[in-house]
Amino acid sequence: MKRLRLSLSILICKTLILIGKLLGKKGSSAPGKFALKICPDAMRLLSQNVSYEIICVLGTNGKTTTNNMIASLLERNKTRVICNRVGANMLDGVATAFISSTNLFGTKKADYAVLEIDEASAKLVFDHITPDIIVVTNLFRDQMDRYGEIEQTLAQLKLAIDKAPGALLCLNADDPMSSYFTKATNNRTVTFGVSEQVAKLLSETPEGRNCPLCSQPLTYAFYHYNQLGDYACSHCDFIRPQPDYYAEEIVCEPKISFRLNGKQLIETDIFGFYNIYNMLAAISVYELLEPNTQNYTELFGSYTPQTARMESFSFQKPVVLNLAKNPAGFNQAISTILSDPRKKAVVIGINDMPSDGCDISWLYDVDFEALTDCTAYGAAGKRCHDMALRLYYADVCDTPQVNADPVPLALQFLETDCQVVYVLVNYTLIFSAKDSLQKAEKAFQKSQKHKKKGETSCK
Amino acid sequence: MQVKLIHLFPDLLNLSGDRGNITVLKKRCRLRGISLEVVPLTLEDSISLADADMIYLGNGSEKDYPRIVTKLKEAEAELLAFRERGGVLLAVGNSYPMLGTSFPITTEEHPGIGLMDIKTLPSDTRLTGNASVNTPFGVLVGFENHTGITHLGASVTPLGTMLSGFGNNGSDRTEGAIYKNIFGTYLTGPLLPNNPELSDLLLEKAIRQKANHFEGLSPLPSDMENLAKGYLLNYDHRTHKR
C-alpha cells in the first residue's frame, strides 16, 4: 500500500514537473508539495535509495554555490547525485528534487544526495530525511522579518541539528555563529577557514559581533568581512577553532587562488573572496569522501557557476549580472566590483516580495558609499525609488536613473564612458533580468553579424 | 550653527539600517551649512548630555535591553534634565517601548526608563509589515515589526493616526508617542530617509531649544522621497503588491 501511494505521488509530481517545464517555470516546489500530501513518507522512502552520504548545506550566503560545487565534484567520478540545483530549498523543493531523480516505482538508486536547505526549513526537512553531513557556510543577517533576529536563526538551526545527532558538521571556523555549533551540539565536527589577514575590505555590519555563548563582545585578531575572522570572546573561553581545512597565500584579483593546508596551490577562474569559503566548504566535504585529493585546481576548473553569480553577457562591452540579497552579499559584490580596474557603470535592483523580505532597511547596512566614480548609477526593482534615495544619501550620485526594470538601464549605460556595466539585483529580480539580458545579447550578436555581412558586401 | 547628536549604543541598536537615520540627519544639515557632530557611545562609555541637542536610539535585539536599561538608568537625572530643557530624542523600533514605565523583554515585564507615560504589554502576535501614518506634519511611512502592545498615558500625544498597518497596539489606530521633544515610534525602514518632514522637524526643534530666534531650515527638494513614499502609500498589504 505504501509503495502504491509512493508511486502515485511520484507519477503526479513528475507530471507537474513536466507541466511546469512546458510553462517555462523556474521554481520547483509545488510538485513536491502535492507529492508529500499524497505520500507523507515519500522523502523518507526515497532517501533510503541513497547508497552513501546525504549531505545538507545550510547557511545564509553561499548555499547554492557550495551545494553545486560539492555535487559537481562528486559527479566527476560518475557517481549519481540527487541535487536541488536550482535552489528550491524549502521542504517542498527538496521533495521535488528527490522525486525528479527517481523512477516511477521509486526504486532507482543514487550514490549521494547533496541538498541545500533553507535555515528556517531545516527542522522540518530533517523530520523526513536524516543527513550524514551538515555544512553550515555562514550565518548573517538576512530577511529579518522572516527569520527574526540572528539568535532565533541559531535556535532554529539547533533544533534542526538535534534531529541528526549522528551527522558530521562541517562548520565555518571564521564565523562565530557557525562555529557556535562545535560547542552547542555533541555532533562530530570539522571546520574550515581563511588563516591570514587579506587586503583590507569594506567596513562591516557589526551584527553577530557578540559571543553566541555569553553575549559579551568578541575581540578580533583580524577579520575579513561581517563577523568572519579570527575571534576570541572577551569573557568566556569561546574562540575560533583551529580549522581542519585552511586557506593561505590568498590572491583575488579578481580570480581566486590560494594554498590549501600549506600544501596544494589551488588556482581557479572563480571571482570573489567569499567564494574561497564556498570552495573550502566543498573541499572539507569532499575530503571526507575522497581523502587526500590532489587536483583541486582541475576539479574546480570544470565547475560552472549557476545563474547570475557574476555572470557575463556580451555586448559592445560586457554586462555582468550578480545576485545579492543581503548586506553581506552586497558588500562582497561591491568589493569584487572595486577590485575590477575597468571603468564601470552600476545598476542596483531591489524587490520586496515575500521571498526577498518586505523590510528593506538593510539597504543602509550596505556600503554603497564605497561605490564611487562610476560613469552612471541606476536604481531598479519595485523599490527603485528607495534605492535611488539610498544612492543619494550615500553621496555617490545625486540623481540616479530610475526604472523598475534593471535591464533597460544596463543597456542604456553601455552608451556611457564605461568599460563594463555591473547589475546587482536581489532574488525575485534575478530570473527575469537574466532572461532579458540573454534576449538582448542574442539580438545584439545578430545585429553584429548583419553588420559584418553588410561590410563585406560593400567591398 | 552647531548641533550635537548623541548616538547611543550603535554597536547594539542597529537592527534596522539605523545608521541610515544618522546619515540622513548629517546630509540634511550639511546641505544647509549646519555642522552636525555625531558622538557614538557604547555601554562602556559614561553618558554626558551637558551640551547635547539630540539623542538617537536605534532598533535593537530584545536580549540586549536589560543591559541598555541598566545603563540608561544610571544617567536618569541627566536624561530627565535633557528632556526638561527641550532636548530632542528619537527612539525607534524596540527602543520606543523602553521610553515608558514598563515594557516586555521576551514576555517578561521590565521597568522602562520612564521618559514618557506609556506602558507596553507583551503579546503572542508579531505586528509586522509596511505602515503609513497621518501626522500633523505630513504622512509618514515605514516598516513595523514588534510584539509589544503599547498604550499611551494622558500626558502623551500620539505621533499620528494609522492609514495602514498596526501602530501602537493594533486597535486604537494610533502610532508612536510624543512628550515634550521626546519622540518614540515603532516605524523603522529606516525611518528618516523616506520622511524628510520628520527629519527636519527634529532638527528644527533641536536648534530652537538653544537658539530661540532661529528662523527655520531652508527647504530641500523632496521629489525622490515622495516617489519612495508613494510606493508604500499604494501598497496592498494582503497581496504584497502595489
Residue B161 corresponds to which cell in the numbers above? 493616526
The conformational region for residue A283 under phi > 0 = left, psi -120 to 50 = alpha, else beta, is: alpha
Q: What's the CA gap between B23 and A69, in Å, rounded? A: 40
Q: Report whether B92 contacts B59 (CB < 8 A).
A: yes
The beta-carbon neighbor of B188 closest among A215, A361, A394 is A361
Residues in chain B, total: 242
Mean pLDDT over all residues of chain A? 89
Mean predicted confidence (pLDDT) in A81-106: 88
Query: In this predicted structure, what is the pLDDT of residue A459?
Result: 41
Supply the Cα-derived Rg of chain B in whole angstroms. Answer: 17
- pLDDT tens per residue across span A368-426: 999 999 999 999 999 999 999 999 999 999 999 999 999 999 999 999 999 999 999 99
Work out whether strand B182-185 and strand B88-92 pair parallel, antiparallel, or are unpaired: parallel
Measure Cα distances from B211 to A29, A118, A294, B205, B215 in Å.
62, 55, 73, 10, 9
- pLDDT tens per residue across span A205-249: 444 578 889 888 888 888 888 889 999 998 999 999 999 999 999
A372, burial (CB in 10 Å: exposed 0-12, middle 13-18, buried 19+)? exposed
Of the pLDDT bands very low, low, confident and very high (cuts 50, 70, 90), residue B241 is low
Q: How many contacts (CB atoms, under 8 Å) link A and B?
A: 86
A361 with B143: Cβ contact below 8 A: yes
Residue B128 contacts A where some CB pair is shorter than 8 Å: yes
Nearest in space to A57 (alpha carbons), one of A224, A268, A286: A286
Q: Strand B160-164's sheet: what is its strand order?
A: B138-146, B127-135, B160-164, B174-175
Mean pLDDT over all residues of chain B? 94
**Domains in chain A, start-ordered, CATH in brackets?**
55-78+113-301 (3.40.1190.10), 311-447 (3.90.190.20)
Quick count: other Cβ atoms within 10 Å of Cβ A145? 16
The beta-carbon neighbor of B193 closest among A144, A358, A393 is A393
Measure Cα distances from A158 to A120, A154, A163, A212, A234 in Å.
11, 6, 9, 12, 24
Q: What's the CA gap between B217 and A366, in Å, rounded? A: 30
Query: In this predicted structure, what is the pLDDT of residue B46?
Result: 95
Query: Which residues of A are annotated as catalytic?
Result: 359
At the fourth CATH level, which superfamily is domain B2-233? Class I glutamine amidotransferase (GATase) domain (3.40.50.880)
Set of chain B residues whose Cβ sits within 8 Å of the Cβ of A206: 11, 14
Type of residue found at A210: N
Mean predicted confidence (pLDDT) in A350-360: 90
Residue A248 contacts B where some CB pair is shorter than 8 Å: no
Angle at which helices A30-38 and A2-22 cross, to 10°: 160
Type of residue found at B9: F
Type of residue found at B83: R
Query: In this predicted structure, what is the pLDDT of residue A456?
Result: 55
Mean predicted confidence (pLDDT) in A112-138: 95
The beta-carbon neighbor of A385 closest among B128, B145, B224 is B224
Q: Is A194 helix (H, G, I), strand (E, B) or coil?
A: strand
Q: Which residue has the cell 561581517?
A: A226
Q: Which residue has the cell 546619515?
A: B23
Q: What's the CA gap between A279 and A286, in Å, rounded? A: 10
- pLDDT tens per residue across span A5-46: 999 999 988 888 888 888 877 657 888 898 999 999 999 999
Q: What's the CA gap between B168 and B160, in Å, rounded? A: 10
Q: Which residue has the cell 523600533?
A: B93
Query: In this predicted structure, what is the pLDDT of residue A310?
Result: 85
A362 with B17: Cβ contact below 8 A: yes
Dihedral angle at the C-alpha atoms of A82, A85, A88, A94, nearest 10 degrees?
A: 10
pLDDT at B239 over 60: no
B20 with A364: Cβ contact below 8 A: yes
Q: How far apart are the first and last CA of chain A?
A: 76
Residue A225 corresponds to which cell in the numbers above? 568581512
Percent of chain A with pLDDT over 70: 94
Q: Which helix (H) or strand (E) holds A57?
A: strand A54-58
Residue A206 contacts B where some CB pair is shorter than 8 Å: yes
Mean predicted confidence (pLDDT) in B201-213: 94
Residue B231 contacts A where some CB pair is shorter than 8 Å: yes
For residue B240, give the chain A residue with the closest CA: A353
Q: Report whether B150 contacts B177 (CB < 8 A).
A: yes
Give CA angle at A179 (A177, A181), nearest 5°. Answer: 90
pLDDT at A454 over 50: yes
- Residue ranges of alpha helices (H) inside chain B are 19-30, 65-74, 76-84, 95-98, 191-194, 196-208, 223-233
Residues 6+ apart with CB under 8 A from A120: A146, A147, A153, A156
- Quote ipTM for the complex: 0.96
Q: Report whether A92 contacts A36 (CB < 8 A).
A: yes
Q: Write out B160-192 in H/E/C secondary structure.
A: EEEEECCCCCCCCCEECEEECCEEEECCECCHH
pLDDT at A134 over 90: yes
Which positions 79-118 of B are in contact with A (Cβ < 8 Å)? Answer: none
Give CA angle at A294 (A291, A299), nearest 5°. Answer: 100
Give CA angle at B142 (B136, B143), nearest 5°. Answer: 140
- pLDDT tens per residue across span A58-76: 999 999 999 999 998 998 8
pLDDT at A204 over 70: no
CA atoms within 13 A on the CB side of A413: 30
Of the pLDDT bands very low, low, confident and very high (cuts 50, 70, 90), residue A301 is confident
Set of chain A residues whose Cβ sits within 8 Å of the Cβ of B65: none
In the beta sheet, which residues pair with residue B149? B121
Mean predicted confidence (pLDDT) in B136-163: 96
Which of the residues A145, A234, A353, A361 would you substitute to probe the B interface, choosing the one with the greatest number of B C-beta atoms within 10 Å? A361
Give CA angle at B146 (B121, B18), nearest 5°. Answer: 125
Q: What's the CA gap between A242 and A174, in Å, rounded? A: 9
Mean predicted confidence (pLDDT) in B92-115: 94
pLDDT at B240 over 60: no
- Helix, strand, coil shares of chain A, percent, nearest 5, are 40, 20, 40
Q: Strand B177-179's sheet: what is its strand order?
A: B35-41, B2-8, B54-57, B88-92, B182-185, B177-179
The domain limits of chain B are 2-233
Percent of chain B with pLDDT over 70: 97
Nearest in space to A116 (alpha carbons), one of A139, A138, A84, A141: A84
B14 with A207: Cβ contact below 8 A: yes
pLDDT at A256 over 60: yes
